[in-house]
Every structure is written in C-alpha cells, then in structure tokens.
Amino acid sequence: MQNLNTTFIGIPISSPIVVGSCGLSSTVEGIEKLAKAGAGAIVLKSVFEEEILMEYEKNVLPNVGPMGNDLEFFDYYDYQIKTEVLNKYVQLIKEAREKVSVPLIASINCRSTSEWMAYAVKLEEAGISGLELNLFRLPFHTSQTSEQLEDEYITIINKIREKVRVPLAVKISPNFTNLVNFARRLSATGIQALVMFNRYFNIDFDIKNEQVISGGAYSNAAEYMLPLRWTSILSNRLECEVVASTGIHTGEAAIKMLLAGARSVQVVSAIYKNGPTHIRAMLHDIDSWMKEKGYESIDDFRGNLSQTMADNPEIFERVQFMKYFSDHKA
Amino acid sequence: MAVSPEFLKAEREQPWRVELRSKMKNKERTALTRVHMNEVDARERILSNIEVNQGLNQVQAMAEAQRCLDCPNPTCITGCPVEINIPKFIKHIECGNFADAAKTLKETSTLPAVCGRVCPQEKQCESQCFYTQKMNAEPVAIGYLERFAADWEQNSGQMAIPEQAPANGIKVGAIGSGPAGLTFAGEMAKKGYDVTVFEALHEIGGVLKYGIPEFRLPNRIVDVEIDVLKKMGVKFETNFVVGKTANVEDLQEEGYKAFFAGSGAGLPRFMEIPGENYIGILSSNEYLTRVNLMNAANPTTDTPIISGKRVAVIGGGNTAMDSVRTAKRLGAERAMIIYRRGMDEMPARVEEIKHAQEEGIEFLTLTNPVEYLADSQGRVSQVRVQKMGLGEPDASGRRRPEVIEGSEYLIDVDTVVVSVGVSPNPIVPDSLPDLKMTRWHTIEVNDDNLQSSIPFLFAGGDIVRGGATVILAMGDGRKAAAAMDEYLQKNQ
C-alpha cells in the first residue's frame, strides 16, 4: 500500500476518504463500520437547530393543556429538547471515542448566531477532534443583500472562533455571487478547512398527484465536476485546506479531486449505495493508480492539476461552450 | 367527578337560593362594580415578606357575592378543574353563611385557602363567568371569594376534622407532600387507611412551601391544613427520599400495600448557553428553596444566599415572578425579568405581573440571554442578551420569538436566576426500572384512574402533568385515592 496519509482540518489522517456528515454516523456501530472500512475521519450527523425548533412547534406546543395551565412547563421546552439532543450527541461521541481511533468531527447547523456559539461550546466540551459548520441558509429575505448574508456567515464563524479552540471546517454551498472572494474571506477567519460543496435537500413534483415531494437524496457520479472546478481554482489560493465533496463516488473521482489540490474528499452517497466497504474499494483504486503512476505519497501529486499548476489555466475560467455545440454532431 | 346539570338545577331550586335571587334584580346585580383586593402598599411590602393580598372583609365579600347572578347554566364551573359548585358557595357568602360556603368548597377542593391565593382564576373559572362571556365586563371575583370563605374557616377556629371510616389497618404511602400528596393523604385517611407521607425536605408542604414565597402564600395557611391531616392520623416522615433513603421495595417489606407518587417537578432546567456554570447563576428552584426553607436570606446562616444588587431572572412564569420579587425583597437595586417574548405572551398570572410592576421590577421583554461573562474569580458579572422580534403565532397561539441578528448588548449583573421551567423529579422513577415514562419524563398513567404501569403505584400532580396548577394536582390526589381504594379492596 502506498502512503495515503494526509490531513483533515490540520489533523493527520491515514486516508483521504473522509465520511461526510450523514445518518451512517449516527450510531456507534455505524461509526465502527466506517472506521474499520478505512475512513480517514468521520463527520458525525449534523445537529440541526431547525429540527429542534420543528419538534418544539409540532410536538410540544400542541400539548399545552386547556386553560394553558402548563404553559410555564412548555414555554422554554425548546431549550430542554436542545439539551437532550446535545447530551445524546455528546454521549455518542464519548462512546464512539472508546471504540475507534479515527478523528470524529461534530457537525452543526443553526439558525441564529447565538445558537451556533452555544452548540459549538457544548460539543467542544465533549472532546471532539474538530467541528464542521454546515453553514447555509436558503436566502429568503428580499431585503437582505448578498453581502449582508456573507457578513452574517463571517460573524458566525468569528464568534465561534472566539469561543472554541478545536479546528474548524466550514461546509458551504456553491451559491455565492463571487465564490473566490467569499472563500478567501472565509479562509481569513482562521478556519482550518473549506468543504466544497454541501448537497441540499431538493424538492420535486409528483405530476400524477400534483404534489410537492422530496427530490432524490443521493448525488450522482457526474456531480463531481462542479467541486472539481472550484477545488482546482481555490486550492492554491487559500490559507486553509480545501476539501472536495459531492459526486465523489469512485476512487477515480477522488484522485481527480486530489489532483485538483484537495487535501481530502468527503464521501456519503456512494457509501449509502454500496455500504461502508466501498471506502476500502475506493482506497484500493487510489493505491493502484498511485503505484501505476509511481507516486509514493499523496503529496507527490496533490494539486498537479490545480489552476495555478495546470498547463492550460484559462480552461478553468471558461464557462460557455462556444464552438462545442456548433461542431458537435449528435 | 363531573357535576350533572340536573344536580346543579336541583341545588339552584332550593328555596333559600330562589329567595335570594328574588331579593335583587339582575340589573341591580350587574350594576355593582367588582371589588378590589386589599393590598399592602408596594413601598412597604418590598421591605418584608408580608402577604401582599390582604383578603376581603365580610362587607366586601358579601357585596361581591351579590354580583353573582346564580345563572341557570353556571359556565364558571366548567372553568374549574375540580368543578367546585361555585354559585352555591358564593350564594352562601351572600347570605352570610360563611361556614357553609367553606363546606361547599371542601366538597371538591382540599386546599381552598391555597387555591384562593395561587390559582389562575382569570384563565379558569373567571374566564367562563357570565360577565366575561356575555357582557365583556369584569367577572365575579370568584378567587377572592374562595379565599375569603376558606380564610374565614381557618380563622374561626372551627376547622372541621372530616369524618373518617373505621381504621382498616392497610398501610399506604404518599411520596411527596405537595398539594397532590396532601390531598391524597386526606382522602385515604377519610377512608380509614393508615397513611404515611414521605417528604424529601425537612418541611412538609412541597412546592407550596419551598416554591411559593411567603408574600404570596404564607406558610401558616398550609400548616393549618397539615394540622388537620395530623389530627386525622396521617403520619409524616420528613428528610425521607423515596428511592434513596429507602426504596419502594423496602417500604413494601414494612407492610405498605400501595403508593401515590406526587413528588412534583423539582428538576430545574437550564438553557445550555455559554457561561451558565459561573458562580452567581442558579436555578429558581435553588434560589426560592434556599430563601423560603433554609433561611438563606439571613447572612448569619451556614449557607446564606448572596443578595445581589443587580439580579436578572430569566423567564416569564409565576416562578420567575416569585424569584424576581424575592430578589427585590432581599435588597436588589435592579431586579429584572428577561423574557424572550412580549408581556402578552407571559405564562405568569396577570396579578403577579401587576404586583411585580408596582414593586419596581424591570421587564426586559423580547430579550433573550445568549451568554454570561464572569470576573476573574469566576463570578458572573454580565449577561449578553439579544433582542427578539415576534413572528407568526406558533402552535400555542402565541407569537413566535425570532432573533434580531446584531442586536446584542451587555447588562451588568451579579446574580442570575434561571427560571425556564422544571422537569419532573427523576428519583422515584429512576428507582423503579419497570415504570413507564412519557416523552416528557413524566410518569405514564391511565387517565381514568391515575394508575401507573406498576399496579400498586398511582401518580398525580406535576410528576404526571409536568406543570399543573395547585387545583389540578389536588384533583389528581383525590382521583388517585378513589382509584387506589378500589384497587386495594379488590386485591385484599
């Protein structure tokens, strides 16, 4: 086996395959399986403030009895739910720590700045190796400018940075007006890694019943091209690590991301589809390719095709097909 | 326990009620104005623990009783969780038959002097009064009249000891001596059982003593009721934590055949925000218990409480009001309520809010703490709060609090009392692994008889309801006693 060591949020890890935040890591047994299959690090399932608030609204408040006699009991029950959810998460971290040696990264998604801070502090106390901020909110406010939204994200990171000392990763969406500029701003906050990109819940329509339904949950193997472009563009432009995510289903896709300059890659959908042992298969493919190419370590080839290193850097900035379609015959 | 319309109609048609109604026209009755409760002036009362409400005198009570129309369909009763025969006791007051009024109350309410002081009548019986429902006018002061009749009985020296069935020698235990446990004990003693009440603290009375301050509910009011129970033969074991001092199995070996768990909701909740463990931040449970039961306001005691000069109380319920008003009485120069919603959304009784305002309590509404800061000694020195807005109504019908980003500011504090709710006491459930619990950590019971998943264990009050009014807890004690009696008789 070639040397597959790399780092994630500055922490040495034994393979570049990091399991992204997902339900597979919501139990100790699941975490053990992922670690055994060769994951370099595991990002635990995100704690969502929104889920806590939804439970409060849907399952708690309707229980307020007649004449509101128990309103005092339920008035702040959202905080009780939060406490229970975080305590359960902390328990998972502690139990998993006993079983596996790979770094365990907590993941959070909050609505308000103050809650981001509170969750981060609590999870740091639990002994996590690092924290991933699942930083995205669908921008609904018509009066909020993109700059204001970006400022809000930066404020959240700075506040968390003030309170916690564990390494931070920030996972973002590709939907920013000037991604390069914003990525640099994020990196300048002192985060250790920028994860590109998060994949979100999609909606779809059932035209037979004319209903809104949830869209496909998994990424497909062609989706890797978007993160590939941006990893290549940003990997040598940021102080922090760049971690590629979305559509990485094969060892080949992982190799491409490493060539683009990613320090590691996050994989979820392929593991859901093929099981934890798929990690082993991806690592095998990476190893075989490295042997074939004569690379002894990942550092030997990382970033070879990043924009700054590539022979044709202008291609990364091309977005229009131009002559392609006029020449292309179906 | 439902009162049938036929029964109420028959009672209403009794000659003395018919005659009373004929003495005054409804127009004359509705023209009377609602009585005002006599109160100690705010400037005076904040200097001591004197009871704020002083009760009605006989003239006031009889005048207020005249306002009651003795409706053919007394909707007020539907607002009372234990269905007190409200028109009947009020009409007794109008006649000057105060003993009969008290007797009517005690037909369904064990602790009327307590309920007359702490029940939220404005949300219960008074909200269903004809005046409120049909005339958009101030309701009959049912709560004030309840208190009047109950106090009259207590002060008359004629506290009746209820009739009791001959002793049957069957030992039963009540776990907790709050309103549910006391009511249960009284009801079982009436049925001839050998009742022992196990109380974890050194004082009997549960939340009535440790939770509600003297200025709202004087201990002597509760003690009178406890004395009656003692005269009925009820035994009290204080400093006895069931599940720790002895568990249920140990007590069964001593001959106890069944138990009623009324151990309340004594587990404080916190917000889990940064800095919440700093010195000077405590729960309302701890704060009130230490002041009310441990004389902690006295600096010469072993464990005095620090009388903060800038006290912030987080929350908007009655417990928060009790805490902040206690802080004022302990000398706080700035005593503040910090509440994330608006005044209209507060769960506290309107009267408690009014009293607090009169006493100079500051209300920082639409404000929520996000972090505490401390001095070099680890003692809380500031709270960082953020402003909140109100969004659409949530499932409770109240407008949802929403964070206003960038609105944070600091407030200097030296004491913080967190009063954001309590959870049921876990000690009894933890000692009984087979006991089924709900998602709210309350004991799961059969609604019809309050029997738990362990057949010999019945439960009621806050440990079942999470949060209950005194009168609901009492109702549970009464219902469980009837059910336990039936259970024991069947299983003898």
What is the value of ipTM here, to two decimals? 0.86
Least trusted range by pLDDT, from A54-58, B43-47, B197-201, B205-209: A54-58
Tokens of A168: 């931070």
Question: Chain A within 8 Å of B475 (Cβ-Cβ)?
Answer: no
Q: Quick: pLDDT tens for B441-481.
A: 899 999 999 999 999 999 999 999 887 778 889 889 999 99
Answer whether A76 sits within 8 Å of B420, measured CB to CB.
yes
pTM to 2 decimal places = 0.88
Q: Quick: pLDDT tens for A303-330.
A: 999 988 877 778 877 766 666 555 555 4
Residue A150 has pLDDT above 90, yes or no: yes
CA-CA-CA-CA torsion sign (B200, B205, B208, B210)? negative
Residue of B272, B344, B370, B387 to mutate, interface with A, max A Cβ within 10 Å: B272
In terms of C-beta density within 10 A (0-12 exposed, 13-18 middle, 19 or more buried), how is residue B165 classed?
exposed
Question: Chain A within 8 Å of B343 (Cβ-Cβ)?
Answer: no
Contact residues, chain A to chain B, C-beta under 8 Å: 57-65, 67-77, 79-80, 82-83, 86, 111-114, 117-118, 121-122, 152, 155, 163
Least trusted range by pLDDT, from B79-83, B254-258, B450-454: B79-83
Residue B392 has pLDDT above 60, yes or no: yes
Please give the average per-residue pLDDT across B39-53, as a whole number. Answer: 95
Please give the average per-residue pLDDT across B37-64, as a whole number. Answer: 96
Find the closest chain B residue to A164 by CA distance: B274
The pLDDT of residue B381: 97
Tokens of B261: 């768990």
Question: Chain A within 8 Å of B77 (Cβ-Cβ)?
Answer: no
The size of chain A, in residues, is 330
The pLDDT of residue B1: 46
Please give the average per-residue pLDDT across B286-302, as a whole number. Answer: 89
Per DSSP, A16 falls in state: S
Confidence bin at B2 (pLDDT 50/70/90): low
Confidence bin at B187 (pLDDT 50/70/90): very high
At position B291, the amino acid (one-letter code) is V
CA distance B325 to B318: 10
Choose which CATH entry (1.10.10.10, 3.50.50.60, 3.10.450.750, 3.30.420.40) describes domain B268-421. 3.50.50.60
Contacts of B370 in chain A (CB under 8 A): 114, 117-118
> Among A57, A63, A117, whose Cβ lies nearest the Cβ of B274?
A117
For residue B373, is it left (φ>0), alpha (ψ between -120 and 50) or beta?
Answer: beta
The pLDDT of residue B208: 95
The pLDDT of residue A139: 76
Instruction: Give the three-state DSSP class for A70.
Output: coil
Peptide bond connecting B458 to the previous residue in cis, omega within 30 degrees of 0:
no
Whole-number average pLDDT of chain A:
90
Tokens of B452: 């738990």
Q: Quick: pLDDT tens for A51-64.
A: 888 888 887 777 66
Q: Quick: pLDDT tens for A105-140.
A: 999 998 888 888 889 998 998 889 999 999 887 777
The pLDDT of residue A311: 78
Cβ atoms B145, B129 nearer than 8 A = no
CA distance B347 to B290: 24
Domain boundaries, chain B: 5-156, 171-266+424-490, 268-421
CA distance B282 to B307: 13
Cβ atoms A312, A241 nearer than 8 A = no
Question: Chain A within 8 Å of B403 (Cβ-Cβ)?
Answer: yes
Provide the shortest C-alpha distance from residue A141 to chain B (in Å): 13
> Among B270, B274, B317, whose Cβ lies nearest the Cβ of A72?
B317
The pLDDT of residue B472: 86
Under 8 Å CB-to-CB from B374, ≥6 apart: which residues? Answer: B275, B278, B279, B380, B381
Instruction: List B residues 368-397 in contact with A (Cβ-Cβ < 8 A).
Output: 368, 370-371, 386, 394-396
Tokens of A13: 């890890």
Cβ atoms B239, B216 nearer than 8 A = no
Longest dimension (CA), chain A: 76
Per DSSP, A57 falls in state: I
Contacts of B337 in chain A (CB under 8 A): none
Q: What is the CA radius of gyration of chain B?
A: 23
Question: Chain A within 8 Å of B79 (Cβ-Cβ)?
Answer: yes
Would you say the CATH fold of B268-421 matches that of B171-266+424-490? yes
Residues in a beta bridge with B283 = B418
Neighbour tally for A202: CB within 10 Å: 10
Residues in a beta bridge with A134 = A171
Q: Quick: pLDDT tens for A180-229.
A: 999 999 999 999 999 999 988 888 999 999 999 988 888 888 899 999 99
CATH of region B5-156: 1.10.1060.10
> Among A58, A69, A113, whose Cβ lies nearest the Cβ of B472?
A69
Contacts of B124 in chain A (CB under 8 A): 67, 69
Q: What is the 3-state secondary structure (H, E, C) of chain B?
A: CCCCHHHHHHHHCCHHHHHHHHCCCHHHHHHCCCCCCCECCHHHHCCCCCCCECCCCHHHHHHHHHHCCCCCCCHHHHHCCCCCCHHHHHHHHHHCCHHHHHHHHHHHCCCHHHHHHHCCCCCCHHHHCHHHHHCCCCCCCHHHHHHHHHHHHHHHCCCCCCCCCCCCCCEEEEECCCHHHHHHHHHHHHCCCEEEEECCCCCCCCHHHHCCCCCCCCHHHHHHHHHHHHHCCCEEECCCCECCCECHHHHHHCCEEEEEECCCCCEECCCCCCCCCCECEEEHHHHHHHHHHCCCCCCCCCCCCCCCCEEEEECCCHHHHHHHHHHHHCCCCEEEEECCCCHHHCCCCHHHHHHHHHCCCEEECCEEEEEEEECCCCEEEEEEEEEEEEEEECCCCCEEEEECCCCCEEEECCEEEECCCEECCCHHHHCCCCCCECCCCCECCCCCCCECCCCCEEECCHHHHCCCCHHHHHHHHHHHHHHHHHHHHHCC
CA distance B174 to B177: 7
Whole-number average pLDDT of chain B:
93
The domains located in chain A, with CATH, are 6-327 (3.20.20.70)
Yes or no: domain B171-266+424-490 corresponds to CATH 2.60.40.420:
no
Find the closest chain B residue to A59 by CA distance: B395
CA distance B90 to B143: 11
Find the closest chain A residue to B442 by CA distance: A73
Provide the shortest C-alpha distance from residue A290 to chain B (in Å): 47
